[in-house]
């Protein structure tokens, strides 16, 4: 059982932080459900690893409290937390056999030898390493080594949460796939809380029930992969998730429409009324998947110059020039693009407005 | 199949290297070989004696004693300097910054001093009347200290000087090895609940294996060839008690001007060092490949 709660946690690597920029992790509240599979997604330097290290106790936060199962564990040493962590590069004890590697955390905790043997066998079976138990760990391939790192967490009967810090970085693509499946399977069987740091969105979206997006030390959005895709609450998430990212275009609200340079895009009337009251710099956002294309004039569509067509097999990406801005549209491969003149449409149900970067609801 | 063409002009390409090796190694070595098989009376009178000098030197009690002394000395040097160097490396600051730079310079200082100056420093340092350590032992501790006449004190003095001079090399190598260990290892060890001893035994020591092998090899060969510092400090005395191989060699060659014996001894000495270098080279090669795994 491990519910992990952050209460007003903030962290700075400086001794006397003054400005908000001095913090690697801005003040935040966050709860990781017991048994949840979370992905921490964000670019380099967004505070993912800091968040992870605070959870495992490798780092004590400058401010706030960390609660494990509602008990304050802010200053609890790493070894006493029921949390294991797997790092970017496999950590194995070179001089030991695979068996001794697995047994190491148990022996350090003075677990009796028959019990050590039983747990190690069980975990080795689960990870498919039973055959190599008596081999030197240093001679194995990277993915086997990473499994050993993971196994050292799994052998401990007290462990209720495992944290992963970009664990598949050094693994080749094929093994990556099978290792990820193994992780999902272990999550299902053992009902552990998993927190998985990555900057690879595909990895995050396939692995996690919930994705936590970090940007400049802040949690920007927590949601299911679908939420993040369909309802990004910040332009950063629109950009960061999806390929190509969301189209973000500066606009002004004019009655029931959003006015871009040289054209007006009809909005949902209720949405437009609310948008008219919003303050700040307005931007219109729409995913390329939802932008429509027609070769000829169509009601509700705006004329645009098609500057580029990329055929990517089962879909095409069109780049359209609309006033001074480029809009990407992901369209079906059957759609034929004729000439540089075209008409593009923005379905109101998928067209979002952002004020100072944050979505209007 | 690749066709190999024969062209004798290629020898021209090898020639500079050949000349270099000849002047650097072969010709001086041949002079020694030349001396070792002759009995030289003066500039014009010499007799070919074959392997007589070799046979005589190998049976020589003084040489055998010097050889034993040399091995004991090199063994003690390794036994003291390697653990001490590792211990120093472990307490040196791990993070960068001015404290680290200062420590590095302070630790490296003995390595930067010319060897004969080291001997001179210790001669003064150990004087019972004005030397800091000598005076301390003699007056404060009340132990009669006169290393030039007491063999055990001479031995300890030479050993102490050698440890002071060369442990920094071991410490710096070990420190480099420690710095190369990624943080994740220490973090994983904390999560695994490892004690400080377990971290040393299962992470730091194995990760230092490569640099420590190099340290052991270098320290063995250097201490096996040691000459300058003990020569300045004790001159090989009292008696023969600190006469190591090289000091003994110089005694024969320059002191007694017995070039035949000295030549034979040189070659024996050279072969011993060569044999050890070969073994060490093989070990080093294996360490190199072992690291790749």
Is the per-residue pLDDT at B88 higher than 90? yes
The mean per-residue pLDDT over the stretch A244-270 comes to 84
Higher pLDDT: A174 or B3? It is A174
Q: If DSSP states are collapsed to H, E and C, what string results for A164-184?
A: EECCCCCCCHHHHHHHHHHHH
Which pLDDT band, with edges at 50, 70 and 90, does B198 fall under? very high
Angle at B167 between CA B164 and CA B171, to 5 degrees: 140
Please name the member of B184, B198, B203 whose beta carbon is closest to the beta carbon of A89: B184
pLDDT at B61: 86
Pairwise CB contact (< 8 Å): B191 & A94: no
B186 in A contact zone (CB under 8 Å) = no
- Is residue B10 included in any domain, yes or no? no
Q: Return the C-alpha torsion angle B56, B62, B64, B70, nearest 10.
A: -140
pLDDT band of residue A116 (cuts 50, 70, 90) is very high
CATH code given to domain A4-239: 3.40.50.300
Provide the token pair at B241: 């008690």
Say if A290 is an interface residue toward chain B (CB within 8 Å): no
Distance CA A27, CA A24 (A): 10
Domain of B170, in residue numbers: 73-239
Q: What average pLDDT does chain A have?
A: 87
At residue B196, the 3 state secondary structure works out as helix
Question: What is the pLDDT, as a whole number, of residue A107?
Answer: 92
CATH code for the domain in which residue B81 is found: 1.10.3720.10
Average pLDDT, chain B: 87
What is the per-residue pLDDT for B188?
Answer: 92
Query: With 90 as the cut, is the pLDDT of residue B94 above it?
Result: no
Instruction: Assign B285 a pLDDT band (cuts: 50, 70, 90).
Output: confident
- Res. B2 pLDDT band, cuts 50 70 90: low
Q: pLDDT confidence of A1, banded at 50, 70, 90?
A: low
Percent of chain B residues topping a pLDDT of 90: 33
Across the interface, of B192, B198, B203, the residue whose CB is closest to A152 is: B192
CB-based contact, A84 to chain B, within 8 Å: yes
Gap between the Cα atoms of B184 and A89, Å rounded = 8
* Residue B112 located in a structural domain: yes
Q: Is the dihedral of CA A202, A204, A209, A212 positive or negative?
A: negative
Query: Does the pLDDT of residue B1 top 70, yes or no?
Result: no
Class for the domain spanning A246-359: mainly beta
Burial class from Cβ neighbours inside 10 Å (0-12, 13-18, 19+) for residue B173 reads buried
The region of weakest confidence among A209-223, B60-74, B273-287 is: B273-287
Instruction: Tell me what pLDDT residue A102 has.
Output: 92
* CA dihedral sign of residues A195, A198, A200, A203: negative
A14 by Cβ neighbours in 10 Å (0-12 / 13-18 / 19+) ranks as exposed
Q: In chain A, where are the structural domains located?
A: 4-239, 246-359
Query: Using one digit for the tens of pLDDT, what is the confidence trace for A42-101?
Result: 888 888 889 999 999 999 999 889 988 888 888 888 888 889 999 988 999 988 999 999
Is B285's Cβ below 8 Å from some Cβ in A?
no
Nearest CA in chain B to A82: B191
| Greater pLDDT, A105 or B259 | A105
* B83 part of a folded domain: yes
Q: Are A275 and A353 spatial neighbours (Cβ–Cβ below 8 Å)?
A: yes
Look at phi and psi of residue A38 and say left if phi exceeds 0, alpha if psi is from -120 to 50, else beta: beta
Q: Which of A105, A139, A153 sits opposite B293 (nearest CB)?
A: A139
Residue B291 near chain A (CB below 8 Å): no
In a domain, B110, yes or no: yes
The H or E element spanning position A6 is strand A4-11
Query: How many structural domains compose chain B?
Result: 1
Give the pLDDT confidence score for residue B289 in this predicted structure.
52
With respect to residue B258, please indicate whether it lies within any of the assigned structural domains: no
Q: Residue B284 falls within a domain, yes or no? A: no
- Residue B134 belongs to a domain: yes
Encode pLDDT of B8-42 as tens digits: 888 899 999 999 999 998 898 888 888 888 888 77
């Amino acid at each position: 059982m491990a519910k992990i709660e952050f209460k007003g946690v903030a962290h700075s690597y400086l001794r006397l932080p003054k400005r908000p920029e001095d913090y690697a992790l801005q003040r935040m509240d966050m709860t990781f459900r017991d048994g949840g599979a979370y992905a921490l997604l964000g670019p380099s330097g967004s505070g993912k690893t800091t968040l992870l290290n605070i959870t495992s106790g490798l780092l004590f936060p400058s401010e706030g409290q960390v609660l494990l199962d509602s008990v304050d564990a802010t200053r609890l040493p790493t070894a006493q937390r029921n949390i294991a962590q797997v790092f970017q590069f496999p950590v194995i004890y070179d001089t030991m056999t695979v068996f001794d590697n697995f047994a190491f955390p148990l022996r350090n905790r003075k677990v009796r030898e028959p019990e050590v043997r039983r747990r190690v066998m069980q975990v080795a079976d689960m990870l498919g390493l039973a055959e190599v138990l008596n081999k030197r760990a240093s001679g194995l391939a990277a993915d086997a080594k990473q499994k050993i790192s993971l196994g050292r967490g799994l052998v401990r009967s007290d462990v209720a949460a495992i944290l992963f810090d970009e664990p598949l970085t050094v693994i080749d693509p094929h093994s990556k796939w099978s290792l990820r499946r193994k992780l999902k399977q272990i999550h299902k069987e053992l009902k552990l809380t998993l927190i998985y740091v990555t900057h690879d969105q595909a990895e995050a979206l396939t692995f996690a029930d919930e994705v936590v997006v970090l940007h400049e030390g802040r949690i920007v959005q927590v949601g299911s992969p679908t939420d993040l895709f369909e309802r990004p609450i910040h332009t950063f998430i629109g950009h960061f998730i999806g390929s190509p990212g969301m189209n973000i275009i500066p606009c002004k609200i004019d009655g029931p429409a959003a006015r871009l340079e040289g054209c007006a895009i009809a909005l949902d009337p209720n949405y437009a009324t609310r948008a008219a009251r919003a303050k700040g710099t307005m931007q219109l956002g729409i995913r390329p998947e939802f932008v429509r294309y027609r070769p000829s004039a169509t009601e509700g569509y705006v004329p645009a110059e098609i500057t580029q067509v990329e055929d990517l097999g089962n879909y095409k990406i069109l780049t359209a020039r609309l006033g001074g801005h480029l809009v990407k549209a992901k369209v079906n491969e059957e759609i034929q693009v004729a000439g540089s003149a075209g008409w593009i449409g923005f379905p109101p149900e998928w067209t979002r407005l952002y004020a100072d970067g944050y979505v209007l609801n | 199949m690749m066709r190999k063409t024969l062209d004798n002009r290629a020898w021209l390409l090898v020639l500079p290297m050949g000349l270099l090796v000849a002047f650097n190694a072969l010709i001086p070595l041949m002079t020694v070989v030349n001396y070792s098989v002759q009995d030289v009376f003066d500039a014009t009178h010499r007799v070919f004696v074959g392997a007589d000098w070799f046979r005589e030197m190998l049976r020589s009690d003084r040489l055998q004693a010097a050889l034993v002394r040399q091995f004991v000395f090199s063994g003690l040097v390794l036994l003291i300097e390697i653990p001490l160097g590792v211990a120093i490396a472990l307490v040196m600051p791990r993070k960068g910054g001015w404290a680290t730079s200062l420590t590095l310079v302070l630790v490296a200082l003995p390595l930067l001093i010319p060897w004969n100056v080291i001997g001179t420093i210790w001669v003064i340092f150990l004087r019972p009347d004005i030397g800091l350590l000598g005076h301390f032992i003699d007056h404060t501790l009340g132990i009669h200290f006169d290393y030039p006449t007491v063999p055990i004190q001479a031995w300890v003095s030479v050993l102490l000087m050698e440890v002071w001079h060369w442990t920094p090399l071991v410490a710096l190598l070990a420190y480099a090895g420690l710095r190369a260990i990624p943080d994740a290892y220490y973090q994983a060890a904390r999560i695994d609940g490892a004690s400080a001893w377990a971290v040393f035994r299962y992470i730091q020591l194995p990760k230092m294996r490569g640099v420590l092998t190099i340290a052991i090899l270098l320290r063995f060969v250097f201490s096996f060839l040691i000459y300058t510092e003990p020569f300045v400090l004790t001159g090989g005395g009292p008696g023969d008690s600190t006469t190591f191989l090289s000091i003994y060699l110089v005694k024969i060659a320059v002191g007694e001007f017995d070039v035949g014996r000295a030549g034979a001894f040189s070659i024996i000495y050279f072969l011993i060092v060569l044999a050890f270098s070969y073994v060490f080279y093989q070990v080093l090669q294996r360490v190199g490949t072992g690291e790749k795994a």
